Amino acid sequence: MTAQIFPAQYSTLSSTALQAHLINIYQLPADTTCKLLIRNVSDTYLLENTESKYIFKIYRNAHRKLDEIKAEVSLLNALKAAGHSVSYPITDQNNHQIQHFNAMEGLRNGVLFTYAPGKVIHDLNEIQLQTLGFDVAKMHITMSSVTLDDSRPVFNFQTTLLDPLDTLKPHLKEMPEEFQYLEEISSRVIQKFESFDTQSFSTGYCHYDLLPKNFHFDEEGKITFFDFDFAGHGYLINDLMSFLNHFFFHQLNKVITKEQAAADFNIFLNAYQTFRKLTPDEIEAIPYLGICFHLFFLKFYYDHFDDFSNPFLTPKFTKHRIDLIRRWETMYCNF
C-alpha cells in the first residue's frame, strides 16, 4: 500500500532534479550546474556552465497565477523585440517559455531567463544616473504602447491605498493610532491628486520596483533590467517614484546627504526627460505615489505571511514600516 503524501502549501523544488530537467528541455551543456539562490517572493535558481549563466525562477501560485506569468513573459518579449536591454525569457526545445511542475502543493510554473551581465551599483555616479534616466525613458515609450493579452496588476488608489487599508485594519487592532494615520494620509493623497491634471499623465506598464537591486551595470556602463515580477499598469511616474526610494533609504542610512540625494535624483530626472517630457504636475505628483508604494507592499507582506513574510512580519516591523511612511511624508510631501 502506497502511503498518501500529506498536502503542502509551499515546497522547494530539488536543484538536482531541476538541473537534469532544464539541461534536457533547454538543451544546455552537460556541465551546467543548478543551485538555489534565494527562497523568497519566488524561488530563484542560478544555472551556470563554462559558457553562460541563467536565472530560473519558480513562481508561487499564491503570488502569480499562470495568466500573470504569461503577461510578464509577453512584456519582456516586447521589450527585447524593441531593443531594450532586459533579462528575457528563453525558449525551450518545444518552443515554450514557461515550464510547469506538478509540485506537492499543486501546479507551479517557472521561467528560464538570460543572466543580466554586470553587477548592482548602489552609489551611482553622474554618468550612470544619466544612462539610467535615458534607458528608463526609452523603455517607457515601449511600455506605454504595448498591449498584453493576459492580465497584470493595476496600480491605482483602490489597489494601492484602499485595498491595503481593508487588509491592514484587522491586523492593526492593537495599533489604533497607526491605523488612523494610514487612513488620514491615504485620504490626503487622494485629495492631493484632485489638484493635478491627471488626464495628462502618461500611463502604461511599470516595473514598480525600480531599485538598483533590479538592474546591473556591465564594465562598459550598459544597463540590463531584470525582475519584472511586480510589473503592472498605472502611471509611468510610478517607476520614477520607486527609484526615488533608493535615495530615501540612502538618506535614512546616512549614506548620502539630503542635498546630494536631491541633486542625484534631478540628474536622473533631467536625463529621463531628454526622451520623455513630463508635465509639471507629473513631476510634483511623484513623491505622493510613494505613500501608495509603501502601503501596497505592507499589504503584500500580510497577504503572503504563510509563504514569505512570517520570519519578519511582527508588530515591531509593522510599526517600523508605518514610521517609514511618516518619514517619507516629512521628507517629500507638502499637503
d(CA 183, CA 299): 14
Do 103 and 173 reside in the same domain of the chain? no
Residue 193 lies in a domain: yes
> Cell numbers of 225, please?
533590467
Confidence of residue 332 (pLDDT cuts 50, 70, 90): very high
Number of domains the chain is built from: 2
> Which pTM was predicted?
0.96
Helix and strand counts by DSSP (H, E) for the chain = 11, 9
Burial class (CB in 10 A: 0-12, 13-18, 19+), 200: exposed
d(CA 115, CA 87): 6
Residue 5 lies in a domain: no
> Cell numbers of 51, please?
559558457
What's the mean per-residue pLDDT of the chain? 96
Q: Tell me what pLDDT residue 3 has.
A: 73
**Residue closest to 16 by CA, chosen among 42, 60, 47, 38:** 47
Q: Is 271 helix (H, G, I), strand (E, B) or coil?
A: helix
The range of the structural domain enclosing residue 108 comes to 15-114
Mean pLDDT across 38-66 = 95
User: CATH number of the domain that 57 lies in?
Assistant: 3.30.200.20
Residue 184 lies in a domain: yes
DSSP 5: P
d(CA 95, CA 101): 17
Residue 8 lies in a domain: no
Mean pLDDT across 151-180 = 97
DSSP 32: -
234-270 per-position pLDDT tens digit: 999 999 999 999 999 999 999 999 999 999 999 999 9
Confidence of residue 62 (pLDDT cuts 50, 70, 90): confident
